[in-house]
């Protein structure tokens, strides 16, 4: 498989990165736009369905309210203040029968009077019946002089849901003598509320009163219960309609509501928010997938074109420079392109082969010098920490291959900060230099001394067990004690040593010897810790 050059990989990485950044920015914008549009569309569906149901209810209830208004007025030709007279009662019942035949939605029509009497066709009230204490009577009294709010209830015999509208009956002096009430079936309303939507299967409608009590609901178990979750989110009465979202038992809902002030009803249309989000997310996913695939294809095509027209000539130029540098004379096989790259190639060809080779030699010498500098401590001219790590790695590898023992010594100058603070850093540096020379002259040629950092030094002793390492440590102590350092007199060190064993790793041997050195300090300094 053909390998890509480094420049090709870089161009590919740059173009792909820019494409991905662009894709992310565009994707965020498009996703936000699509999500907002999706929510707006869902709210529009809820709003339209809610208006449709509200209009249906208005149209359904309007003739019933007009019938109540007409029946309770003097325009009906009935004087309800004379309800005790047989003739008047017959007129009232006859009017009720006409209205029932004219308006098919009427289930019951009846009137109750201040003495508790009830006038209704085809029904005989039970003994002790008192119309005044009935809910429909009290609701009309409370709403006087207006028609009472629609009061849904379930018929005790048919179990169907009905809605009751009532209005007070007045005599010639505008005194209340009774209440006229019409009960209508709500089958048509319930069916309208229960209509499902193909796009949003969980959408449904229900009606509640101004106190949050559910009046009409497709689920027959819910009427006459409170819906506090949504009611607490509906704005004050000044808002005739609006949209909102709320949490119903852990299920996020999106809803639209409309108030019907004449009935005291609030029509609500709601849907599970997850039902709305699902098609939105599917649209976003498919749209973004097409954008990503199209953008990546365009990016890779651009990268390929750049490789053909830019990178390939550069690779040929690289081979040309390498040939000249290596002294090859095959100069006619490369045809310079007619562009800036060709001009650069021609300029490079003018360089002499010997000059380039000489530069290579100088470069190798410089690299060798840099390598030496990078492994030497600049102050003490002994190995630095990097070099010591290389030595340690080599000894660990040799131990693992040939099981040859080696030991590590680590020592630290006691109270070195006091030297710097008392005599200055120049004297401190001189102490470090002379100490390194003393120790280097004391250890074996096979041992490696290095400056670990600050006033800490490490010695790696190949082919050395702990007993031999202890002997070397004692010689070092003796040499340091007998040497006179500038302006300081005697210098002491605290030393720890360990032999590398099969239980050790490079990290653990360094930690162990460091801990021993610090135990030497804690035990009073100027001593060796090897156990």
CATH T-level assignment (fold) for domain 1-319: Beta-Lactamase (3.30.450)
Q: Provide mean pLDDT across the span 5-30.
A: 78
Instruction: Count other Cβ atoms within 10 Å, centred on residue 232.
Output: 9
Contact 402, 415 (CB under 8 A): no
pLDDT of residue 1: 42
Instruction: Clarify whether 270 is annotated catalytic.
Output: no
pLDDT, tens only, 45-63: 888 888 888 888 888 888 8
- More confident: 216 or 500: 500
The residues, any chain, with a CB within 8 Å of residue 273's CB and separated by 6 or more, are 245, 251, 252, 253, 254
Distance (Å, whole) CA 140 – CA 174: 15
- More confident: 357 or 55: 55
Contact 499, 441 (CB under 8 A): no
Q: Please tell me the pTM assigned to this model.
A: 0.48
pLDDT, tens only, 232-288: 777 766 567 888 787 877 788 888 888 887 777 888 888 888 877 777 787 888 888
131 pLDDT above the threshold of 80: yes
- % of residues, the chain, pLDDT over 90: 27
Domain boundaries in the chain? 1-319, 335-372, 376-529
Q: Provide mean pLDDT across the span 465-484.
A: 94
Alpha carbon distance, N-terminus to C-terminus of the chain = 58
pLDDT of residue 410: 97
pLDDT of residue 377: 93
Q: What are phi and psi of 255, to 5 degrees?
A: -145, 160
Instruction: Count other Cβ atoms within 10 Å, centred on residue 295.
Output: 17
480 pLDDT above the threshold of 70: yes
pLDDT of residue 466: 95
The residues, any chain, with a CB within 8 Å of residue 141's CB and separated by 6 or more, are 168, 176, 179
CATH no. of 376-529: 3.30.70.270
226 pLDDT above the threshold of 90: no
Q: Could you tell me the two tokens for 296?
A: 């990546």
Backbone torsion region of residue 330, taken as left when φ is above 0, otherwise alpha when ψ lies between -120 and 50, otherwise beta: beta
Q: Which of 390, 455, 499, 512 is labelled catalytic?
A: 455
- More confident: 304 or 86: 86
Contact 132, 121 (CB under 8 A): no
């Amino acid at each position: 498989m053909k390998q890509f050059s480094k420049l090709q990989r870089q161009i590919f990485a740059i173009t792909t990165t820019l494409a991905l950044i662009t894709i992310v920015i565009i994707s965020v914008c498009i996703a936000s736009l699509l999500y907002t549009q999706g929510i707006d569309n869902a709210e529009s569906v809820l709003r339209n369905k809610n208006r449709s149901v509200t209009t249906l209810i208005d149209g359904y209830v309007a003739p019933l309210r007009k019938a109540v208004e007409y029946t309770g007025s003097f325009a009906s030709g009935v004087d309800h203040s004379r309800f005790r007279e047989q003739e008047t009662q017959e007129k009232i019942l006859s009017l009720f029968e006409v209205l029932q035949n004219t308006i098919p939605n009427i289930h019951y029509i009846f009137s109750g009077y201040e003495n508790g009497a009830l006038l209704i066709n085809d029904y005989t009230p039970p003994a002790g019946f008192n119309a005044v204490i009935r809910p429909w009577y009290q609701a009309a009294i409370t709403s006087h002089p207006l028609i009472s709010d629609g009061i849904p209830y379930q018929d005790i015999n048919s179990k169907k849901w009905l809605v009751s509208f009532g209005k007070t009956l007045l005599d010639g002096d505008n005194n209340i003598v009774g209440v006229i009430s019409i009960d209508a079936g709500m089958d048509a309303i319930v069916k309208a509320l229960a209509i499902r939507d193909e796009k949003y299967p969980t959408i449904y409608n229900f009606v509640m009163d101004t106190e949050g009590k559910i009046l009409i609901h497709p689920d027959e178990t819910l009427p006459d219960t409170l819906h506090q979750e949504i009611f607490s989110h509906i704005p004050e009465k000044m808002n005739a309609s609006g949209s909102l979202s709320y949490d119903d038992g852990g299920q996020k809902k999106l809803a639209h509501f409309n108030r019907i002030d004449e009935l005291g009803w609030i029509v609500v249309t709601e849907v599970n928010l997850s039902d709305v989000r699902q098609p939105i997310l599917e649209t976003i996913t498919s749209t973004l997938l097409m954008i990503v695939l199209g953008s990546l294809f365009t990016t890779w095509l651009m990268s390929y074109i750049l490789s053909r027209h830019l990178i390939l000539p550069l690779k040929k130029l690289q081979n040309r420079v390498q040939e000249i540098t290596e002294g090859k004379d095959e100069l006619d096989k490369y045809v310079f392109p007619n562009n800036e790259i060709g001009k650069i190639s021609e300029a490079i060809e003018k360089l002499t082969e010997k000059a380039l080779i000489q530069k290579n030699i100088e470069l190798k010498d410089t690299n060798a010098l840099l390598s030496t500098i990078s492994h030497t401590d600049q102050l003490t001219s002994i190995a630095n920490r990097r070099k010591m790590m290389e030595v340690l790695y080599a000894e660990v590898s040799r131990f693992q291959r040939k099981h040859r023992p080696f030991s590590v010594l680590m020592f630290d100058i006691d109270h070195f900060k006091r030297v710097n603070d008392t005599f200055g850093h120049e004297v401190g540096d001189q102490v470090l230099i002379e100490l390194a020379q003393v120790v280097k002259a004391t250890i074996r040629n096979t041992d490696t001394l290095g400056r670990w950092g600050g006033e800490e030094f490490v010695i790696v002793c190949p082919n050395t067990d702990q007993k031999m390492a202890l002997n070397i440590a004692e010689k070092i102590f003796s040499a340091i004690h007998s040497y006179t350092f500038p302006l300081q007199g005697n210098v002491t060190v605290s030393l720890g040593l360990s032999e590398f064993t099969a239980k050790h790793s490079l990290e653990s041997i360094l930690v162990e010897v460091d801990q021993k050195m610090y135990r030497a300090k804690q035990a009073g300094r100027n001593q060796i810790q090897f156990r």
